[in-house]
Chains A and B, each alone.
Chain A
């Protein structure tokens, strides 16, 4: 998927900023909220920059 298609996909689906418990060991949880970006066929968890 190209950059534009990826961008369109991201804009079409919701994006949340949430704090979660437990979670991925390599993505900090608790203090900082995590961006949860849904796309057509995936969901991305990302730390705020």
Chain B
């Protein structure tokens, strides 16, 4: 049984890092610190012994025949490599969200029109176009 995922099937790739203090090591550090130097050593030993550790979780959401499929991988030393490979595949996606494409094309249209209107206005200011010619051309551009 196997499943092949193409870059366009990848919906989301996430990497969560959780930091926590190891309780067991904090207790060991406290005991050693307490024996060696007393009360302050106990606190210092607990702080040093309970050093922060990071736990990774990789989240992968893919499109599986029209259904979203969530995959979580925890507590693995391979997570950074898995994450970088998935990001590599993600960069190979050929499809972009429609909303983003529409937004950018609208912006281009607006900026083109604004530029053309500015150019037209400068022609009016320079006296190359009369007010009537300017109004007529502007009306056509805005239609």
B107 contacts A by Cβ under 8 Å = no
The tally of residues in B whose CB lies under 8 Å from a CB in A reads 22
Q: Are A46 and B85 in contact, CB atoms less than 8 angstroms apart? A: no
Q: Across the interface, do B72 and A21 meet the contact criterion of CB distance under 8 Å?
A: yes
Query: Is B96's CB within 8 Å of the partner chain A?
Result: no
Contact of A44 among B3, B7, B64 (CB under 8 A): B3
Which interface class (under 10, 10 to 19, 20 to 34, 35 or more) fits A? Answer: 20 to 34
Closest Cβ of chain B to A37, distance in Å, is 9
In Å, the complex CA distance between A36 and B81 comes to: 12
A residues near B (Cβ < 8 Å) are: 13-14, 16, 18-27, 36, 38, 41-47
| For the complex of A and B, 3 pairs with smallest distance between CB atoms | A46-B2, A21-B72, A45-B3
